[in-house]
Structure 1
Amino acid sequence: MTHRVLSPVLAGALLVAALLAGGCSGDEYVAPPPVERSDVADPAVAAATVAALQDDLDDPSAAGELGADGPAADLLTAIARNVAAMGLTDVTLAYVTETGTTAGDDAWDGLVAVTWRVAGFDRASARAEVPVSFADGGRTIAAIGADAKRLPLWLTGPVVVRRVPGALVVVAGEATDIELLARRTRRAVAATRPLLGRGDGLVVEVPADSQQLHRALGADRGAYDAIAAVTAPVDGSTAPRSPVHVFINRSVYDGLDPVAAQVVMTHEAVHAVTGAALVRGAPLWLVEGFADYVALRDVALPVARTAAQVIRQVRRDGLPDALPADSDFDPGASHLGTLYEAAWQVAVTLAEHGGEDALVAFYRDVLDGTALDAALRRHFAWSEAELTAAWRSRLAALAGVPE
């Protein structure tokens, strides 16, 4: 659920399990290494092979025939089936360049530019450059994605797809629990509707394991090991219309109890359908607190349990002096549970003062670029200092300590 400063990623942390069971800058330019040229590379042949694969994506058997061996044929067949099952459109494949030699006398590695869009959900196409290993002088494909830092899930192998009202669920690998994931996704979409209306459609991608998750996100290995779910642009782009999906980290999510798992899914659905992952400048206590407000709105648990961590901290360390800072929301931090509960209580404070409609309007205004102070005045007749004082009073009451 956290959002790193200057990073278009919102991630669901393990703090939800705790509160319910009681979870180099992209702007820097780095010169690419020199390309290792191959004497056997034939760009024209490779480009023709890639074009043939694009043409054959509506025919899995024909796509498989472009594979250099059995595993490669299976992969290309699966990719073509994924395109149909996910309803991908605007799919293009274009050979870009060679990147070096690979196994075999007539084989080499290259880059292929790929675009795709989930019809009915994504407002624009995603884009990625994907490593491809060519064989047989470029006439066949031996592998896709070797050593790629970012690799879209639909290019990794077979996926299973379920459609529910307002959402699409895509599961890689063993998909024995896809019906459960689909039910949670459907409930998450339904939970957002009373406050948010329809919003954007929701796409949930479930990589088979942590390694596949990090590759789908283009993240360093281990960056999201403690995170249950991540809402992020599919291709890492920060453009306003970039496709944003929810990605599930099975290594954490599968260990959550049913209530916590549903809260995580609903929280991430709020991020996705409101476009929060592409917003810059909104304070994270609002982005994360509002998502938790929606996710916990209909959870029948006492606040002593759902806010247990922040209550303990207040009793131990006293009341916080200020609203949670953006710099505190780091996926690797050990105190995330307390932060999210604190942010949630800010949203609760606002809703109790001005009502849910005012909270939603305030949230949308800030996401649309309205200055925080102006939005607070407009919807609550409060300054940030007044909000902070009311929030501190609420925390003091919950913890049973003097202000």
Structure 2
Amino acid sequence: MVLALAVVLVVVQRGARHEVDRRPVEVARASPAEASAALAAFVGGVEARDATALADLAPGGDVEAEELLRGIATTAEAVDLADVSARYVDQAGPVASDGSWSAVAEVGWRVAGDTTPSQADVVVQLATDAEGVAITGFGGPGGERVPLWLRGRLSVARAPGVLVMADGSQAEAEVVADRVTRGIAVVRRVLPGWRESVVVEVPASAADLDETLGATEGTYAGIAAVTATAGSSTGADVPVHVFVNPEVTAGLRRAGAQVVMSHELVHVATDAARGGIEPWLVEGFADYVALRDTGLPDRTTLGRAISAAREDGVPAELPSAVDFDTRADGLQARYEEAWLACRIIAERLGERDLVSVYDAARAGTPVATALARAGLPLRDLLWSWRARLRKLAQ
């Protein structure tokens, strides 16, 4: 029982006298103990893939919550969900008059292809009634992540070393899985030693992508895909997944969508999500690998960079971290400029040395030092890069 008896003072006027009438009134109160019990039952239901047990955690008559929880059991089975945990952390906001409230829970999970669990603080939506605490959903306005598997029943596609989870149709999941398989082959042409598994998540919308990643609304609205840790942890061994924005990729041609996926797989293969490398080298190298064998003309691959150079002049420096902000103006031009810089490195030094420069930067060597050791001082790269852009813009 989580209904508290609150004593309310009511003033009753009788002539010149004021009497206090003490009436017990029932008001809803959050119960961390019962919320913890509900979370434990949720974990048990997920581990057992027991759709009925999970549906029983929904409030009576809440068909939407029942369907969500049943769907989670189906998804858990499809993605081999393991190492599931959910620990009550704190209440999130007040209890509403209808008994609904939210709590923050530390949730852990691992899907097929991941070698270690992911972890994130997740808002759990709860309802309080005479029967106790029920689960109505996940997510809230606080900006915490909502792992995709908590969306309910997902479409899941597999290929050797590939798992795709999509909050959409089965056909969409299978298209993405095929794209990943082709992308792996693209990456291995330059990085033949890469043999890791790949997990791709496709939320239903750009807004859901923001929520899946715990980002503020609109952060990834214009981004086709992003490679990031699956949870909030950033340790050296936490899983890294590719997250796809279906609203952007739906507007791309087949070749463009493939380049996007191949680009993100380079980030997976090189562990770029953990940072520490000059952004122009990270993004330029990924595009170099993704575009290497496409045969596309410069007017296509460098179209936005050429337009920017014509309108604003040739940049004085290579793109900075600020230039790669997801909502920065001219973001696509910056990607193309970074790709051109890496293409020039490959032309001047050879592809093997481009990879060596990238590997050195990953190991902590400053990019300028790595370039100089390879035989291309940064100032010479910058001069050649600016000259090429100037020529293209003519």
**Structure 2 counterparts to residues 3-22 of structure 1, below 5 A:** none
Q: Aligned partner of 2:176: which letter?
A: L
Q: Who is 2:64 aligned against?
A: 71
In structure 2, C-alpha distance between the alignment counterparts of 1:147 and 1:103, rounded to whole Å: 19
1:122 CA drift (Å): 4.8
Mapped pair 1:228 → 2:228? no
Q: Who is 2:98 aligned against?
A: 104
Q: Aligned partner of 1:49: which letter?
A: A
**Structure 2 counterparts to residues 244-255 of structure 1, below 5 A:** 244-255=240-251
Q: Who is 2:109 aligned against?
A: 116
The 10-residue stretch of structure 1 (269-278 or 309-318) with the greater mean CA deviation from structure 2: 309-318
Q: Who is 2:168 aligned against?
A: 173
CA contact (8 A) 1:201 1:273 kept: no
Q: 1:79 to 1:389 in 2, by over 3 A?
A: same
Question: Partner of 1:357: helix, strand, or coil?
Answer: helix
Q: Who is 2:40 aligned against?
A: 51
Q: Aligned partner of 1:323: which letter?
A: L
**Structure 2 counterparts to residues 202-351 of structure 1, below 5 A:** 202-280=198-276, 282-315=277-310, 317-351=312-346
Question: Partner of 2:224: helix, strand, or coil?
Answer: strand
Q: Aligned partner of 1:64: which letter?
A: A
1:124 CA drift (Å): 4.2
1:208 CA drift (Å): 0.6
Question: Partner of 1:177: helix, strand, or coil?
Answer: helix
Q: Quick one: which of 382, 392, 395 aligns to 2:376?
A: 382
CA contact (8 A) 1:285 1:343 kept: yes
CA contact (8 A) 1:323 1:388 kept: yes
1:78 CA drift (Å): 1.1
In structure 2, C-alpha distance between the alignment counterparts of 1:128 and 1:142, rounded to whole Å: 17
1:118 CA drift (Å): 2.1
Mapped pair 1:183 → 2:174? no
Q: Who is 1:162 aligned against?
A: 157
In structure 1, C-alpha distance between the alignment counterparts of 2:34 and 2:334, rounded to whole Å: 55
**Structure 2 counterparts to residues 186-197 of structure 1, below 5 A:** 186-196=181-191, 197=193
| CA displacement 1:14-49 (0-9 Å, x = unmatched) | xxxxxxxxxxxxxxxxxxxxxxxx753333333222
Q: Which structure is larger by alpha-carbon Rg, 1 or 2?
A: 2
In structure 2, C-alpha distance between the alignment counterparts of 1:337 and 1:47, rounded to whole Å: 46
Which structure would you say has the larger RCO, counting Cα contacts within 8 Å and 6 or more residues apart? 1
| CA displacement 1:193-238 (0-9 Å, x = unmatched) | 1222325422211111122111111111122222111222223333
In structure 1, C-alpha distance between the alignment counterparts of 2:306 and 2:30, rounded to whole Å: 64
1:384 CA drift (Å): 0.9
Question: Partner of 2:317: helix, strand, or coil?
Answer: coil
| CA displacement 1:51-91 (0-9 Å, x = unmatched) | 12211212222222222132222111111222221222211
Question: Partner of 2:43: helix, strand, or coil?
Answer: helix
In the alignment, structure 2 segments of 5+ residues that lack a partner are: 1-26
CA contact (8 A) 1:126 1:243 kept: no
Q: 1:75 to 1:316 in 2, by over 3 A?
A: closer
Q: Aligned partner of 1:205: which letter?
A: E
In structure 2, C-alpha distance between the alignment counterparts of 1:96 and 1:324, rounded to whole Å: 41
1:120 CA drift (Å): 2.5
Mapped pair 1:81 → 2:52? no
Question: Partner of 1:227: helix, strand, or coil?
Answer: coil
| CA displacement 1:373-394 (0-9 Å, x = unmatched) | 221123x212211221232343
Question: Partner of 1:353: helix, strand, or coil?
Answer: helix
Q: Quick one: which of 128, 134, 148 aligns to 2:121?
A: 128
In structure 1, C-alpha distance between the alignment counterparts of 2:312 and 2:142, rounded to whole Å: 46
The 10-residue stretch of structure 1 (328-337 or 185-194) with the greater mean CA deviation from structure 2: 328-337
The 10-residue stretch of structure 1 (131-140 or 72-81) with the greater mean CA deviation from structure 2: 131-140
Q: 1:52 to 1:309 in 2, by over 3 A?
A: closer
In structure 2, C-alpha distance between the alignment counterparts of 1:42 and 1:390, rounded to whole Å: 66
CA contact (8 A) 2:104 2:121 kept: no
In structure 1, C-alpha distance between the alignment counterparts of 2:112 and 2:302, rounded to whole Å: 40
Q: Aligned partner of 1:61: which letter?
A: T
1:366 CA drift (Å): 0.5
Q: Aligned partner of 1:46: which letter?
A: A
1:177 CA drift (Å): 2.2
In structure 2, C-alpha distance between the alignment counterparts of 1:230 and 1:254, rounded to whole Å: 15
Question: Partner of 2:319: helix, strand, or coil?
Answer: coil
Q: 1:391 to 1:174 in 2, by over 3 A?
A: same
Q: Aligned partner of 1:232: which letter?
A: A
Q: Identity, % of aligned pairs?
A: 41
In the alignment, structure 1 segments of 5+ residues that lack a partner are: 1-37
In structure 2, C-alpha distance between the alignment counterparts of 1:70 and 1:205, rounded to whole Å: 26
Matched residue count:
360
CA contact (8 A) 2:157 2:170 kept: no
Q: TM-score, normalised by structure 2?
A: 0.84
Q: 1:339 to 1:61 in 2, by over 3 A?
A: same
In structure 1, C-alpha distance between the alignment counterparts of 2:305 and 2:70, rounded to whole Å: 51
In structure 2, C-alpha distance between the alignment counterparts of 1:202 and 1:338, rounded to whole Å: 28
Q: Who is 1:17 aligned against?
A: none
Q: Quick one: which of 362, 375, 398 aligns to 2:357?
A: 362
Question: Partner of 2:326: helix, strand, or coil?
Answer: coil
